[in-house]
C-alpha cells in the first residue's frame, strides 16, 4: 500500500526479467509499483487502480503499448495519466509513432535506472 505522497507507477512488460528490473529500480527510488504482464492487464490496472504514471513496453501480447496509450487517452477518467514508453524500438519512426499514440515520454532499452526514475518523477510532477 502506498504511503502519502508516494508516486504509484504502473509498469507493464511481458519480459519477466525486465519487469522485475524496472519494478525493483522504481521501488528503490521510493515509488509504489503495480506490475502488469501484458497490455490488457495494464489497461485494467490503469482503469481500476488509477496510478500516477504508467511505464509501458511497446511490444506486449494482447495490446501493444501504443494501443494501451490510445485506450487511456480515450477514457476521460484516466486520459490525464502520464505515460512513458520504455522500449527497444529505437527508430525515429517508432519514436514519432509512440508520441503520436499519446505517450508523454519515450525511453529506449537498454536504459539508465537513474534516468528512468528521474523521468518517472518528472512525469508525476506534471500530473494534474
User: What pLDDT does 30 receive?
Assistant: 94
Q: What is the pLDDT of residue 56?
A: 97
Whole-angstrom distance, CA of residue 21 vs CA of residue 95 = 23
In the block, residue with C-alpha cell 504508467: 54
94 C-beta neighbours (distance < 10 Å), count = 17
pLDDT beyond 70 at 2: no
pLDDT per residue over 13-62, tens digit each? 999 999 999 999 999 999 999 999 999 999 999 999 999 999 999 999 99
Q: Over the chain, what is the mean pLDDT?
A: 94
Query: Is 44 domain-assigned?
Result: yes
Q: Give domain status of residue 87, yes or no.
A: yes
Residue 2 domain flag: no
CB 68 within 8 A of CB 102: no
Whole-number pLDDT of residue 1: 58
pLDDT tens per residue, range 59-83: 999 999 999 999 999 999 999 999 9
User: Which residue segment(s) compose the domain that 26 sits in?
Assistant: 8-126
The three grid cell numbers given for residue 47, joined into one nine-digit string? 482503469
Cell triple for residue 34? 503495480
Judged against a pLDDT cut of 70, whether residue 128 lies above it is answered with: no
Domain presence at residue 39: yes
The domain spanning residue 81 has which CATH number?
A: 3.40.50.2300
Determine, yes or no, domain membership for 31.
Answer: yes
4 pLDDT higher than 90: no
| Per-residue model confidence as pLDDT tens digits over 86-121 | 988 888 888 899 999 999 999 999 999 999 999 999
Dihedrals φ, ψ of 44, to 5°?
-60, -45
How many C-beta atoms surround the C-beta of residue 47 within 10 A?
A: 14
Q: Is residue 42 part of a domain?
A: yes
Looking at the structure of the chain, the number of domains it has is 1
* Residue 36 located in a structural domain: yes
Identify whether 1 is part of a domain. Answer: no
Tally of CB atoms within 10 A around 30: 12
Phi–psi pair at 6, nearest 5 degrees: -80, 135
Amino acid at each position: 500500500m502506498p504511503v502519502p505522497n508516494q508516486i504509484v507507477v504502473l509498469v507493464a512488460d511481458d519480459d519477466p526479467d525486465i519487469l522485475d528490473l524496472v519494478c525493483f529500480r522504481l521501488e528503490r527510488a521510493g515509488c509504489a509499483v503495480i506490475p502488469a504482464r501484458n497490455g490488457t492487464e495494464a489497461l485494467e490496472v490503469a482503469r481500476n487502480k488509477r496510478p500516477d504514471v504508467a511505464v509501458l513496453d511497446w511490444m506486449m501480447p494482447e495490446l501493444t503499448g501504443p494501443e494501451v496509450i490510445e485506450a487511456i487517452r480515450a477514457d476521460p477518467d484516466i486520459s490525464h495519466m502520464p505515460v512513458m514508453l520504455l522500449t527497444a524500438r529505437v527508430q525515429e519512426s517508432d519514436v514519432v509513432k509512440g508520441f503520436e499514440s499519446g505517450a508523454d515520454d519515450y525511453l529506449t532499452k537498454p536504459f539508465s535506472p537513474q534516468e528512468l526514475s528521474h523521468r518517472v518523477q518528472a512525469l508525476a510532477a506534471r500530473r494534474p
